[in-house]
Amino acid sequence: MNTTLRSIAAALCTAGLALISAHAFAADSDPTASGIHAGDVLVRLRAISIVPQVRTSDALSTLNVGVNNATVPELDFTYMIRDNIGVELILGTSRHQVTSSLGGLGGVNVLPPTLLLQYHFNHQGQVRPYVGAGVNYTYFYNDGLHVGDQQISVKRSSFGPALQMGVDVQVTKSLFANVDLKKVWMKTDASLNGASLGTLHIDPLIVGVGVGMKF
Protein backbone atom coordinates (compact mmCIF):
# COMPACT_ATOMS: atom_id res chain seq x y z
CA MET A 1 0.00 0.00 0.00
CA ASN A 2 1.53 3.34 -1.07
CA THR A 3 1.77 6.47 1.06
CA THR A 4 -1.40 8.01 -0.41
CA LEU A 5 -3.49 4.92 0.32
CA ARG A 6 -2.06 4.62 3.84
CA SER A 7 -2.92 8.28 4.50
CA ILE A 8 -6.46 7.84 3.20
CA ALA A 9 -7.02 4.67 5.21
CA ALA A 10 -5.71 6.37 8.36
CA ALA A 11 -7.95 9.40 7.80
CA LEU A 12 -10.98 7.18 7.27
CA CYS A 13 -10.30 5.15 10.40
CA THR A 14 -9.74 8.30 12.45
CA ALA A 15 -12.96 9.90 11.23
CA GLY A 16 -14.93 6.70 11.82
CA LEU A 17 -13.53 6.23 15.33
CA ALA A 18 -14.28 9.87 16.15
CA LEU A 19 -17.90 9.47 15.07
CA ILE A 20 -18.29 6.22 16.99
CA SER A 21 -16.60 7.54 20.13
CA ALA A 22 -18.90 10.56 20.20
CA HIS A 23 -21.89 8.23 20.61
CA ALA A 24 -20.47 5.04 22.07
CA PHE A 25 -22.09 5.51 25.48
CA ALA A 26 -25.55 6.49 24.24
CA ALA A 27 -28.35 4.42 25.79
CA ASP A 28 -30.17 1.97 23.52
CA SER A 29 -33.47 3.56 24.58
CA ASP A 30 -32.36 7.01 23.36
CA PRO A 31 -35.04 8.21 20.88
CA THR A 32 -32.30 9.42 18.53
CA ALA A 33 -31.11 5.81 18.17
CA SER A 34 -34.34 4.41 16.70
CA GLY A 35 -32.35 2.92 13.85
CA ILE A 36 -33.50 2.06 10.35
CA HIS A 37 -36.16 -0.35 9.12
CA ALA A 38 -37.66 -1.77 5.95
CA GLY A 39 -39.30 1.00 3.91
CA ASP A 40 -37.02 3.79 5.16
CA VAL A 41 -35.36 6.08 2.63
CA LEU A 42 -31.89 7.45 3.46
CA VAL A 43 -30.56 10.47 1.60
CA ARG A 44 -26.89 11.41 2.03
CA LEU A 45 -24.84 14.37 0.84
CA ARG A 46 -21.10 13.79 0.98
CA ALA A 47 -17.90 15.61 0.12
CA ILE A 48 -15.78 13.01 -1.65
CA SER A 49 -12.12 12.80 -2.56
CA ILE A 50 -11.53 10.77 -5.73
CA VAL A 51 -8.07 9.19 -5.92
CA PRO A 52 -7.48 7.39 -9.26
CA GLN A 53 -5.43 4.19 -9.17
CA VAL A 54 -4.26 4.42 -12.78
CA ARG A 55 -3.23 1.49 -14.99
CA THR A 56 -2.54 1.78 -18.71
CA SER A 57 -1.64 -0.38 -21.67
CA ASP A 58 0.22 -0.03 -24.97
CA ALA A 59 1.23 3.51 -26.00
CA LEU A 60 -0.45 5.05 -22.95
CA SER A 61 2.04 3.17 -20.75
CA THR A 62 5.05 4.45 -22.65
CA LEU A 63 3.68 7.99 -22.22
CA ASN A 64 3.32 7.52 -18.41
CA VAL A 65 -0.28 8.69 -18.55
CA GLY A 66 -1.77 9.74 -15.21
CA VAL A 67 -5.06 11.16 -13.91
CA ASN A 68 -5.26 13.77 -11.15
CA ASN A 69 -7.35 13.64 -7.96
CA ALA A 70 -10.63 15.52 -7.60
CA THR A 71 -12.84 16.65 -4.70
CA VAL A 72 -16.55 17.03 -5.47
CA PRO A 73 -20.00 16.67 -3.84
CA GLU A 74 -21.88 13.37 -4.08
CA LEU A 75 -25.58 12.62 -3.54
CA ASP A 76 -26.96 9.16 -2.82
CA PHE A 77 -30.31 7.55 -2.08
CA THR A 78 -30.79 4.29 -0.17
CA TYR A 79 -34.07 2.38 -0.01
CA MET A 80 -34.25 -0.20 2.78
CA ILE A 81 -35.92 -3.29 1.31
CA ARG A 82 -35.42 -5.13 4.62
CA ASP A 83 -34.31 -3.98 8.06
CA ASN A 84 -30.69 -4.88 7.26
CA ILE A 85 -30.65 -4.73 3.46
CA GLY A 86 -30.73 -1.62 1.31
CA VAL A 87 -30.26 -0.62 -2.31
CA GLU A 88 -28.23 2.55 -2.89
CA LEU A 89 -27.97 4.73 -5.98
CA ILE A 90 -24.96 7.06 -6.01
CA LEU A 91 -24.88 10.19 -8.18
CA GLY A 92 -21.99 12.54 -8.81
CA THR A 93 -19.68 13.84 -11.49
CA SER A 94 -16.09 15.03 -11.56
CA ARG A 95 -13.53 16.52 -13.93
CA HIS A 96 -9.99 15.19 -14.15
CA GLN A 97 -6.83 16.40 -15.84
CA VAL A 98 -4.92 13.76 -17.77
CA THR A 99 -1.13 14.08 -17.80
CA SER A 100 1.70 12.35 -19.64
CA SER A 101 5.45 12.52 -20.13
CA LEU A 102 4.69 14.87 -23.03
CA GLY A 103 2.85 17.26 -20.69
CA GLY A 104 -0.84 17.78 -20.04
CA LEU A 105 -3.17 15.99 -22.45
CA GLY A 106 -6.27 17.89 -21.33
CA GLY A 107 -9.35 17.26 -19.22
CA VAL A 108 -12.31 14.88 -19.18
CA ASN A 109 -15.54 14.73 -17.20
CA VAL A 110 -16.60 11.45 -15.59
CA LEU A 111 -20.20 10.58 -14.68
CA PRO A 112 -20.33 7.20 -12.86
CA PRO A 113 -23.83 6.43 -11.50
CA THR A 114 -23.41 3.40 -9.22
CA LEU A 115 -25.97 0.93 -7.88
CA LEU A 116 -25.06 -1.02 -4.73
CA LEU A 117 -26.70 -3.72 -2.65
CA GLN A 118 -25.88 -3.03 1.01
CA TYR A 119 -25.94 -4.93 4.28
CA HIS A 120 -26.40 -2.72 7.37
CA PHE A 121 -25.16 -4.05 10.70
CA ASN A 122 -26.85 -3.08 13.99
CA HIS A 123 -29.82 -1.59 12.13
CA GLN A 124 -31.63 -0.63 15.35
CA GLY A 125 -28.58 1.06 16.86
CA GLN A 126 -27.12 4.53 16.83
CA VAL A 127 -23.86 3.41 15.17
CA ARG A 128 -24.55 1.41 11.99
CA PRO A 129 -21.66 0.05 9.89
CA TYR A 130 -22.49 -1.22 6.41
CA VAL A 131 -20.89 -2.92 3.43
CA GLY A 132 -21.99 -2.92 -0.18
CA ALA A 133 -21.27 -4.34 -3.61
CA GLY A 134 -22.64 -3.51 -7.02
CA VAL A 135 -22.01 -2.14 -10.48
CA ASN A 136 -21.24 1.25 -11.97
CA TYR A 137 -21.87 2.66 -15.42
CA THR A 138 -19.31 5.33 -16.30
CA TYR A 139 -19.94 7.95 -18.99
CA PHE A 140 -17.00 10.05 -20.21
CA TYR A 141 -17.95 13.45 -21.64
CA ASN A 142 -16.75 16.98 -22.34
CA ASP A 143 -13.31 15.60 -23.12
CA GLY A 144 -10.58 17.79 -24.55
CA LEU A 145 -7.65 15.39 -24.79
CA HIS A 146 -5.04 16.11 -27.41
CA VAL A 147 -1.41 15.65 -28.45
CA GLY A 148 -0.29 18.88 -30.08
CA ASP A 149 -3.15 19.79 -32.40
CA GLN A 150 -4.32 16.16 -32.74
CA GLN A 151 -7.52 15.19 -30.89
CA ILE A 152 -7.48 12.01 -28.80
CA SER A 153 -10.75 10.09 -28.97
CA VAL A 154 -12.03 8.09 -25.99
CA LYS A 155 -14.65 5.40 -25.63
CA ARG A 156 -17.69 7.06 -24.09
CA SER A 157 -18.82 4.46 -21.59
CA SER A 158 -17.88 1.42 -19.53
CA PHE A 159 -19.31 -0.91 -16.90
CA GLY A 160 -17.43 -2.13 -13.85
CA PRO A 161 -17.85 -3.49 -10.32
CA ALA A 162 -17.95 -1.37 -7.17
CA LEU A 163 -17.31 -2.17 -3.48
CA GLN A 164 -18.22 -0.07 -0.45
CA MET A 165 -17.86 0.13 3.32
CA GLY A 166 -18.90 2.85 5.73
CA VAL A 167 -20.72 3.82 8.89
CA ASP A 168 -23.77 5.94 9.74
CA VAL A 169 -24.01 7.55 13.18
CA GLN A 170 -27.43 8.83 14.25
CA VAL A 171 -27.34 12.39 15.62
CA THR A 172 -31.06 13.13 15.91
CA LYS A 173 -34.11 11.04 15.07
CA SER A 174 -33.79 11.95 11.37
CA LEU A 175 -30.24 13.27 10.96
CA PHE A 176 -27.07 11.17 10.86
CA ALA A 177 -23.38 11.60 10.06
CA ASN A 178 -21.63 9.38 7.53
CA VAL A 179 -18.13 8.20 6.60
CA ASP A 180 -17.82 6.14 3.42
CA LEU A 181 -15.14 4.37 1.37
CA LYS A 182 -15.68 3.00 -2.14
CA LYS A 183 -13.57 1.27 -4.77
CA VAL A 184 -14.88 1.65 -8.32
CA TRP A 185 -13.49 0.06 -11.47
CA MET A 186 -13.79 2.16 -14.65
CA LYS A 187 -11.87 2.37 -17.89
CA THR A 188 -11.84 3.88 -21.37
CA ASP A 189 -10.09 3.09 -24.64
CA ALA A 190 -8.16 5.91 -26.34
CA SER A 191 -7.25 6.36 -30.00
CA LEU A 192 -5.51 8.93 -32.19
CA ASN A 193 -6.56 9.31 -35.82
CA GLY A 194 -8.20 5.88 -35.65
CA ALA A 195 -5.11 4.15 -34.24
CA SER A 196 -5.46 2.59 -30.78
CA LEU A 197 -3.37 4.13 -28.00
CA GLY A 198 -4.42 1.55 -25.41
CA THR A 199 -6.72 1.36 -22.40
CA LEU A 200 -6.79 3.77 -19.47
CA HIS A 201 -7.98 2.20 -16.21
CA ILE A 202 -8.89 4.88 -13.66
CA ASP A 203 -10.23 2.56 -10.89
CA PRO A 204 -10.54 5.27 -8.19
CA LEU A 205 -10.59 4.93 -4.44
CA ILE A 206 -13.31 7.31 -3.19
CA VAL A 207 -13.35 8.63 0.38
CA GLY A 208 -16.43 10.52 1.55
CA VAL A 209 -17.64 12.34 4.66
CA GLY A 210 -21.11 13.83 4.93
CA VAL A 211 -24.54 13.95 6.51
CA GLY A 212 -27.80 12.18 5.81
CA MET A 213 -31.52 12.32 6.48
CA LYS A 214 -33.84 9.41 7.19
CA PHE A 215 -37.36 9.57 5.76
Q: Give the chain as a DSSP string.
A: --HHHHHHHHHHHHHHHHHHHHHTT--TT-GGG----TT-EEEEEEEEEEE---EE-THHHHTT-EE--EEEEEEEEEEESSSSEEEEEEE--EEEEEEETTEEEEEEEEE--EEEEEEESSTTSSEEEEEEEEEEEEEEES---EETTEEEEE--EEEEEEEEEEEEEESSSSEEEEEEEEEE--EEEEEETTEEEEEEE---EEEEEEEEEE-
Give 25 or 4, the one with higher predicted confidence.
Answer: 4
Report how far residue 19's alpha carbon sits from residue 167's, in angstroms, rounded to the nearest whole number. 9
Listed range (110-114, 149-153, 167-171) with the worst mean pLDDT: 149-153
Q: Would you state the pLDDT for residue 116? A: 98
CATH for the stretch 3-26+36-214: 2.40.160.20
CB 184 within 8 A of CB 162: yes
User: Tell me: the pLDDT tens digits for 107-127?
Assistant: 999 999 999 999 999 999 999
pLDDT band at 37 (very low <50, low <70, confident <90, very high): very high
